[in-house]
């Protein structure tokens, strides 16, 4: 079974601004082939970080966005019916294990807990993936690594990882960068001037202060980048902030009014 490995390669260096020593740490973890878990609020750069590391380590990257309807066979693979009878198709996890890619399971808690158990044999000393339906045991390629990410901020009892899953990973904690750094990131990512980027980050900060007081999550760096992109396209800053930063995160009229006021106060 030949796989087009090249399609999973990251061609160009993605922009990633390190916040600390996470790059070195990750390199060490990869050298030891430790599975890695990335935790942090939405839109703070988890996925970007994985992309960047895949590029840096020159490994193919297979990303799976997890969801509630995902079954184990969506990860591992399944038989399909065709004219001749049945045919086996590898799932993304199996593919990654065969070709030695980094397999990135995004938002792993969205998948049901019994689904995530299939990764267990891959994430300990065995490094194998048994395909019970097919009667095959795939030994993982020496370069294979598993990375998962999730957002612990959901605060839902239903959406947590099993202890037996958690305790197979080296964990990296992510958060929104420091304001100065975040402004640099936004300016670098979108090409707007540093002053505007600083104001956008300040506005995001006001929304983040409301986390837990009507907002489940603050404004993510991703939304700040969206706002900056709108501004780059010639949208007036206030309108851009309302569209990209205030409106998406809340339907609560009072919070919206407060954020709108913050927009006015910051972009005078």
Partner 1 sequence: MSKPVDARKREMHHPQVQAWWREMDCGFTQVADVFEECLYEALTAFSKREMDDYVAAAKTLSRLGRGPEPVLAFLEAWPSVAGAVGTAALEDVMATARALQASPNGHAIAPFLQTLAPVARRLASREQLAFYLDIARELMARTTGSIHGRHATIASPGLPAFFRQAPQLVETLPMAGLQNWVDYGIRHYGDHPQQQEDYFKLALADSRAVLQRERHGTLFADAERRLDLYLRALWRDPQPLIPYSNAYHELRQIVPYYDSLGMRLPDVYDARNGISGLDRYRATLAHMAGHRRWSSPQIADNWSPFQRLAVEFLEDARIDRLLMREYPGLAPVLLALHPKPGEDACDPETTSCLRHRLAMLSRACLDANHGYADPVLNETVAAFHAALADGPSGTAQMAGLALAYVARTRRPSDQLPRIHFDDTVVDYRDDNRQLWAFIEEGDEEEAFDTRKEAREAEEPQGLPPRHYPEWDQASESYRPDWVSLYEALHPAGEAAMIDRLLEKHAALARRLMRLLDLIKPQNKQRIRYQEDGSELDLDVAIRSLIDFRSGVTPDPRINMSHRTSGRSIAVLLLLDLSESLNQKVAGGEQTVLELSQEAVSLLGMAIERLNDPFAIAGFHSNTRHEVRYLHIKGFSERWDDTVKGRLAAAGAGWSTRMGAALRHAGAALAQRQADKRLLLLLTDGEPADIDVRDPGHLHADAKKAVGELAAQGVDTFCLSLDPKADDYVQGIFGRRHLVLDRVEQLPEKLPLLYMALTK
Would you count residue 175 as binding partner 1 (CB under 8 A)?
Answer: no
Which among 221, 215, 217 is positioned nearest to 244, based on CA atoms?
Answer: 221
Can you tell me which of 207, 228, 244, 249 binds partner 1, judged by CB under 8 A?
A: 207
Would you count residue 79 as binding partner 1 (CB under 8 A)?
Answer: yes
Would you count residue 164 as binding partner 1 (CB under 8 A)?
Answer: no
Which span sits near partner 1 by CB under 8 A: 13-21, 142-150, 171-179, 207-215? 207-215
User: Angle at CA 145, nearest 5°, toward 52 and 34?
Assistant: 100
Which span sits near partner 1 by CB under 8 A: 76-84, 137-145, 171-179, 183-191? 76-84
Would you count residue 258 as binding partner 1 (CB under 8 A)?
Answer: yes
Would you count residue 257 as binding partner 1 (CB under 8 A)?
Answer: yes
Question: Which tokens go with 132?
Answer: 């019970």
Would you count residue 231 as binding partner 1 (CB under 8 A)?
Answer: no
Cα 265 to Cα 63: distance, rounded to the nearest angstrom: 41
For partner 1, the closer CB: 38 or 207 = 207
Question: Which tokens go with 203?
Answer: 């506005």
Would you count residue 16 as binding partner 1 (CB under 8 A)?
Answer: no
Which among 106, 135, 132 is positioned nearest to 118, based on CA atoms?
Answer: 132
**Strand locations in the chain (E):** 36-39, 61-65, 77-82, 85-90, 102-106, 128-131, 136-139, 145-150, 170-173
Size, binding site for partner 1 by CB under 8 A: 25
**Cα torsion 129, 133, 134, 135: sign:** positive
Would you count residue 254 as binding partner 1 (CB under 8 A)?
Answer: yes
Can you tell me which of 33, 126, 133, 166 binds partner 1, judged by CB under 8 A?
A: 133
Would you count residue 126 as binding partner 1 (CB under 8 A)?
Answer: no
**Strand locations in 52-197 (E):** 61-65, 77-82, 85-90, 102-106, 128-131, 136-139, 145-150, 170-173
Binding site for partner 1 (CB under 8 A): 78-81, 85-86, 133, 206-207, 209-210, 213-214, 254-255, 257-259, 261-262, 264-268
């Amino acid at each position: 079974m030949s796989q087009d490995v090249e399609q999973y390669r990251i061609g160009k260096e993605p922009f990633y601004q390190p916040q600390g020593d996470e790059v070195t740490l990750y390199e060490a973890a990869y050298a030891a082939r430790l599975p890695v878990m990335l935790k942090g609020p939405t839109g703070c750069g988890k996925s970007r970080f994985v992309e960047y590391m895949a590029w840096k380590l020159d490994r193919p990257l297979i990303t799976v966005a997890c969801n509630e309807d995902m079954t184990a066979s969506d990860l591992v693979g399944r038989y399909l019916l065709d004219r001749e009878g049945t045919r086996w198709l590898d799932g993304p996890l199996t593919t990654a294990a065969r070709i030695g890619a980094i397999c990135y399971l995004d938002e792993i808690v969205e998948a049901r807990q019994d689904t995530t158990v299939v990764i267990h044999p891959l994430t300990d000393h065995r490094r194998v993936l048994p395909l019970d339906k097919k009667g095959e045991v795939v030994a993982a390629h020496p370069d294979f690594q598993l990375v998962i990410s999730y957002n612990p901020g959901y605060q839902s009892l239903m959406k947590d990882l099993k202890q037996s899953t958690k305790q197979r990973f080296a964990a990296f904690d992510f958060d929104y960068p420091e304001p100065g750094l975040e402004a640099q990131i936004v300016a670098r990512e979108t090409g707007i001037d540093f002053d505007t980027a600083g104001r956008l980050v300040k506005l995001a900060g006001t929304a983040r202060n409301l986390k837990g007081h009507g907002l489940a999550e603050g404004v993510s760096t991703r939304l700040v980048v969206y706002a900056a992109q709108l501004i780059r396209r010639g949208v007036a800053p206030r309108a851009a902030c309302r569209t990209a930063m205030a409106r998406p995160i809340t339907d609560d009229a009072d919070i919206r009014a407060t954020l709108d006021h913050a927009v006015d106060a910051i972009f005078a």
